[in-house]
Structure 1
Amino acid sequence: MDRDVYLLLTSRIMRSVSAGVLAVVVGLYYVNELHLTLFEVGVLFGVGAFLTPLLTLILGFYSDKYGRKRILLITLSFLPISVLILLLTSNFFLLLLSSALGGFGIAGGLVGGGVGATVAPMQTALLTEKIPPEERTKVFSIFTTISSYAGAGGALLSHLPSYRTIFIMALIISGISTLSVIPLRESFKPRVKKVPTSSGDKDVIKKFTITGVLNGVSQGLIVPFIPIIFSKTYGLSQSTIGDIVSIGGVVSATLMLSTPSLTKRLGFVRLIILTRSISAVLVLLFPFLSLWYLASIDYIVFTPLRVLSLPAQQALMMNLIGEGRRATVSGANQAGRLIPSAFSTSLSGYLMRAVSIAMPFEIAFLATLINSFLYYSFFRSVDKLANGSVTIAEG
């Protein structure tokens, strides 16, 4: 791997460490320190998660138009700014801004899209231009694995003695993530003239957006509230919750090393259907387990199964799309997943308060099964593109 790949990896590691601890403590900070209700937490997570994918969609498009490194630097600065707001104020409207910039509450937690948020389209497109098609699933797996380990390590920072100390650490680390991409060299040259999007690219955008919608709904309903459920339902301490989330991240990262070989053996479609169907059943069981250690084991198992196929999905998407549209399509996929997750997160806070804790998990179960069926319908004929054994022309 060349120097620029290592710079991107360094930035992603630092961001993942910061995002890892924030994924554990932000919801607990809202409830325990600011004494917000679950409905108010749902509003904060939901509004923030709604604005984040809109920014992702817009910035992904403009990065293809004006340059990916430039937009990446801007978006990387969002996380330290959001943490600074948490340090300086408890004003509800400024907390909404903090949630939007930081991507707090977005589906995915400390692995996958949750860590990437607004920076994912630029990171993915810049990384894609540095590696050949046949290596992309492998490199995406390595990146996601290492960043998941980093996120798991970040979750352990929840042991620090105060929210203020945690937020200061997150501010410093996320600042390093921003600074580390300054020396990056960008090879891609934006087109001066607008080129119409091909019908093939439009079809890919449509399919990944539709599957992203259901994936976003299912994750948005449950992921942001899991630390709160561990605290309020099972009575676990913040440090114990951090340990459980960290273990989930480590298991996810370790299993993701097997994604390239599993993709070649099973194919992308069978891999995603198998892993997500099992995870859907485990998600359904989660709120009905009466013992904290059973709920912890359930979480630690379903978390990696939800993200195991992510590197293959990224490689498939990048291999299906021409070079000039990669950040745009990645942004559209993120938005397609995260905008519905924003609505479902807001709804989940209401359902947990007004109906039952279990209701969002039951809806997430159904959404995940439907999503798996759509992956089969849309992508069963293009499995080989996920591992680079077949490619499309660059352009």
Structure 2
Amino acid sequence: MGSNSIIISLYLLSLGLSALEIGELLSLGVLVGSFVSLILSFLGDLYGRKKFAIISRLISTVSFFFLFLGIPIAYIFSLTWGAGGLLFSLLAEKSSNLDKALGVRQSLTILFSVVGSLLPIFLEYRGILFLDVLINLVALSLLLPITEKFKGSKKLKIGSIKVVSKFSTEAIIGLGAGLVIPLMSLWFYLKFGVTGPEMSPVFALSELTLAFSSYGSVLLAERLGRVKTIVYTHSLAIVLLFLLPLSPDFLIASLIFVVRNVLMNMTSPVFESLLLRLIPEEERGRANGIVNFMESIPRAIGPSIGGYFFNEGNLFLPFFITGFLYSFATILFFIWFKREEHL
């Protein structure tokens, strides 16, 4: 994941795609991935989550293999590996302390992502994609021995739909994120002329600091509460997002990028814990899938818009639009969830 955030846009560029075409392909990838993940989430709640998590991982593995062969359209199936929260639901079943389990998972995921962020220094794009295939196969083998108590509810009813609808704030976040986040390596290249190997240490540092801060957010939430922790860190990140496109050089832009990434994403385990605690066990897979779907559809639109502006030479406006969308979503989140601090 760490290396892909750097190389995918650049790899597609090397295959002859324009910035606009790259944005459209990234959009399509999110769109297809979100639909597949939503379907697998519902099936997981009906018949058991493990088998559909395995199917999701298989789809992703095959996708990366064809992308390695130089087939750009294969990218659209590479984003199904999360399967709308099936893995989170499995983790919730096994955990006695959900907050800390999610925090440890997030930190370990990011630490491995740090290693991935350094790969462009040593490997070419296709070499990294082949490594993606191997890593997916290893992850698949780790899923196989897991035992699952939950065998499926056999019911499609979503009793927690009112709670789930409040997480529509993620749709606004998704639209904003889609405008710039998938295109950050392309933005660095267009703005400062830096290459993948030059960006690699910056992305690695960003992931490394996020790894430690993710677990720290769990500890912070124990003192401030989950909702306040999310709102405070997101607010600081939004300020930095407005400043990022105004950076005069690559060094300052890199510093802002790293700190903003930490503040915006460190509370992921806190957010996921809040969601899982508000949703009954038998509905967690599909509820999580719906929330991810609400975020993913607008996120799918974003890269096309961002790619259009970048293609026109406008490297500023997408960041400002994202900043305003993030601000609106954060305010709504606080209003709707401020009473849930007791969970």
Correspondence for 1:85: 66
1:305 equivalent in alignment to 2:263: yes
Residues in 1 aligned to 2:136 and 2:105: alpha-carbon distance in whole angstroms: 17
Q: 1:196 aligns with which of 152, 157, 164?
A: 157
Greater mean deviation of Cα atoms: 167-176 or 287-296: 167-176
Matches within 5 A, 1:27-42: 27-31=9-13, 33-42=14-23
Pairwise CA distance, 1:77 = 1.4
Provide the C-alpha distance between the structure 1 equivalents of 2:165 and 2:319, rounded to a whole number of angstroms. Answer: 27
Q: Secondary structure at the match of 1:20?
A: coil
Partner of 1:144: 106
Structure 2: gaps of 5 or more residues: none
Return the alpha-carbon distance in structure 2 between the equivalents of residues 345 and 384 of structure 1: 37
**Equivalence for 1:258:** 216
Please, which of 82, 92, 110 is the counterpart of residue 118 of structure 1? 82
Alpha-carbon separation, structure 2, partners of 1:255 and 1:164:
32
**1:271-294 deviation digits (Å, cap 9, x = unpaired):** 111111111111111111121000
Summarize the Cα distance change of 1:78–1:23 in structure 2 as closer, same or farther, 3 Å threshold: farther
Q: TM-score, normalised by structure 1?
A: 0.84
Give how far 1:355 is off. 6.3
Instruction: Give 1:157-306 correspondences, 5 Å limit.
Output: 157-192=119-154, 194=155, 196-198=157-159, 201-208=160-167, 210-306=168-264
Contact 1:51–1:100 (CA under 8 A) maintained in structure 2? yes
State the alpha-carbon separation in 1 of the partners of residues 101 and 42 from structure 2: 24
User: AA paired with 1:99?
Assistant: Y
Distance 2:251 2:152 in 1: 52
Deviation, structure 1 residue 232: 2.2
Q: Partner residue of 1:357?
A: 315
Pairwise CA distance, 1:225: 0.9
1:384: Cα distance to partner?
Answer: 2.2
Task: For residue 117 of structure 1, report the CA deviation from its aligned partner.
Answer: 5.3
Which deviates more, 265-274 or 250-259?
Answer: 265-274
Q: Which amino acid aligns with 2:77?
A: L
What is the CA distance between 1:162 and its match in structure 2?
Answer: 2.1
Deviations 1:123-178 (A, max 9, x none): 0000001113xx11111011001101111111111123422222221211111111
Q: Within 2, Cα distance between the matches of 1:218 and 1:285?
A: 16
Partner Cα separation in structure 1 for residue 185 and residue 70 of structure 2: 23
1:381 aligns with 2:343: no
Partner of 2:32: 51
Confirm or deny: 8 A CA contact 2:84 2:290 kept in the other structure: no
| Root-mean-square deviation over aligned CA pairs | 1.4
Distance 2:174 2:272 in 1: 16
Give the aligned partner of residue 74 of structure 1. Answer: 55
Q: Does 1:62 align with 2:43?
A: yes
**More displaced stretch, 178-187 vs 159-168:** 159-168
User: Any stretches of 5+ residues in structure 1 without a counterpart?
Assistant: 1-18, 104-115, 386-395
Q: Tell whether the 8 Å contact from 1:55 to 1:118 is kept in structure 2 after alignment.
A: no
Q: Distance in 2 between matches of 1:348 and 1:275?
A: 25
| Cα separation, partners in 2 of 1:100 and 1:294, compared to 1, 3 Å | same
User: Can you list the C-alpha shifts for 1:172-195, whole angstroms capped at 9, x where unaligned?
Assistant: 111111121111101102124x26
Q: CA deviation at 1:28?
A: 0.7
Distance 1:354 1:118, change over 3 A: same
> 1:84 corresponds to which letter in structure 2?
F
Identity of aligned residues (%): 25
Residue identity matched to 1:23: S
Return the offset for 1:121.
1.1
CA contact (8 A) 1:65 1:190 kept: yes
